[in-house]
Structures are given as structure tokens and as C-alpha cells.
Amino acid sequence: MSWNISGQYAETCNCDFLCPCPTSGLTQSTHGYCIFAMGFRVERGQYNGTSLDGRSFVIVGHTPGNMGEGGWNVGLIVDDGADEKQKDALTAIASGQAGGAMANLAPMVGNFLGVETAPVKIEGSGKNWAVYAGRLIDESVEGAAGLGGEQMYLDGTGHPASTKLGLGRAQKSHVHAFGIDWDQEDGRNNGHFAPFNWSG
């Protein structure tokens, strides 16, 4: 069995910009715990011959302490346009059961909170990205500019989406899923975005 998916990723988390998790080996966070919602839009992909083109999903998580301490609470929201085969495939990929990038994080997960379906959309271009999942997720991120207005990046990370992440500030973060509730619109918290390419 083999699979591959590629497309666009975007997320916000509750750490202040710039999130210290990727640069500290997951040993530091702004508040001593983390909430995150990582959205993935599959532009091209297949799982054992099942097409995943055009499907999207969101991985939602809460860590009771710093990320490196484990015990993560994680749930998955799958695009409600996915049929059963596609839903099963995306669940296997996003949970790490199928190997690939998310398998490296599987040992950190203490509780898998289940799978929900919603009309998931990951929209944007350039420095501006947004993730929607019905009433469950509504978040957006704006890229951080460096000298000359060029987008800034963090390279060489161990992040599952990509080793190179666009740096950004969250414009809004609304998460109400799997018993995780978070609302923030003050522009202080962190965001990332990047193209992704996974296989297993």
C-alpha cells in the first residue's frame, strides 16, 4: 500500500508570535500549554488508488503542557465532501497510522478525540491564508514581512507540514471542536503556512 498527498497547509496556535515550540525542540511555549488547528488542502493525492484530489482536513490539538511532554489531545475534521474511502484514507494519514510525516508525532498523542465532518476550506494565496470548518474552525494568518517587504520563513524545522514554514501572525483564531474552545482576535498569536508534500 502506498500513498501521497500534496497541497497547501495553514495553521494558527495560541502561542504569541513567534511561537517558541519549533525553535526549542518543543520544550517551551508561551502559556505552558498549546492549542493548534492545522488545515491541509490536498491538491493532488491518492491512497492505495483512491483519489484524494480536492479534499481537505484539519488536525485540532490541545497539549496539557509543553508539546515535548506528550499527552496531546488530538481530533480530526474531514471535509464533508469526502466519501467513506476518502474519509478512511485521510484518517489513516492524519493519525499517522499510514506512516509518513504524522507518524513521527503519533507517540506524543495521549488521546485521539475522534473524527468529525464539516465543510472544510483552506483558502488564500501569497501571505494570506484562512482555514474554515463549518462552526468548528475559523482562523486566518497574515505573513510576517522582513526587510523590503519579503515574506519571512523559518527553515530547518521538525514540523510535520514542512521543514520550511512561512512566519505569520494570526488575524483570528476560533476553535470549538472536540471540547477544545479558543477565541482570539488580538493579532498577538502565531501562525504558519507552507506547501506540503507527504507520502508513505
Q: What confidence score (pLDDT) does residue 80 get?
A: 98
C-alpha span between 175 and 77 (Å, rounded): 12
pLDDT > 90 in the chain, percent: 93
C-alpha span between 168 and 187 (Å, rounded): 10
Q: Is the pLDDT of residue 55 over 90?
A: yes
Q: What confidence score (pLDDT) does residue 30 get?
A: 95
Average pLDDT over residues 86-102: 97
Q: For residue range 134-173, list pLDDT tens digits in order.
A: 999 999 999 999 989 999 999 999 999 999 999 999 999 9
Q: What confidence score (pLDDT) does residue 42 get?
A: 99
DSSP codes of every residue in the chain: --EEEEEEEEEEEEEESSPSTTTTTT---SSSSEEEEEEEEEEEEEETTEE-TT-EEEEEEEESS-GGG--EEEEEEEETT--HHHHHHHHHHHHTTT-SGGGGTGGGEEEEEEEEEE-EEEEEETTEEEEEETBTEEEEEEEPB-GGGPBPEE-S---SS-SSEEEEEEEEEEEEETTEEEEE-SS-EEEEEEEEEEE-
**Range with lowest mean pLDDT among 19-33, 49-63, 149-163:** 19-33
Q: What confidence score (pLDDT) does residue 24 get?
A: 80
Q: Is the pLDDT of residue 88 over 80?
A: yes
Q: What confidence score (pLDDT) does residue 11 get?
A: 98
Q: What confidence score (pLDDT) does residue 1 get?
A: 75
Count of positions (residues) in the chain: 200
Q: What confidence score (pLDDT) does residue 26 get?
A: 82
Q: Is the pLDDT of residue 27 over 80?
A: no
Q: Return the higher-pLDDT residue of 116 and 68.
A: 116
> What average pLDDT does the structure give for the chain?
96
Average pLDDT over residues 99-115: 96
Q: For the chain, which residues make up each domain, given as ranges?
A: 3-193
Q: What confidence score (pLDDT) does residue 93 get?
A: 98
